[in-house]
Amino acid sequence: MTPPAHQRPVALWPTVKAVLWSFLGLRRRADFERDVQQLNPIAVLATGVVMAFVFIAVLMLIVRWVVSA
């Protein structure tokens, strides 16, 4: 019997990779299905939120650098 989704172990690199592919919007159906079966959804959500904040911060830094030049 497999554990419930929220009790799956957190695999950092596969989670980050899945979130990055999701940001790009490019993902094969087979890879998506494998991620659904293997990844911890809470870890995916947390990773997505952190990466979104990092993305926004990087954009703000780039804009600040371009405007100041």
Name residues whose C-beta falls within 8 Å of residue 41's C-beta, 6 or more positions apart in sequence. Answer: 5, 6
Using the predicted structure, report yes or no on whether residue 69 has a pLDDT greater than 90: no
Distance separating alpha carbons of residues 58 and 68, to the nearest angstrom: 15
Are the C-beta atoms of 11 and 46 separated by less than 8 Å? Answer: no
pLDDT in tens, 9-60: 888 899 999 999 999 988 888 988 998 889 999 999 999 999 999 999 999 9
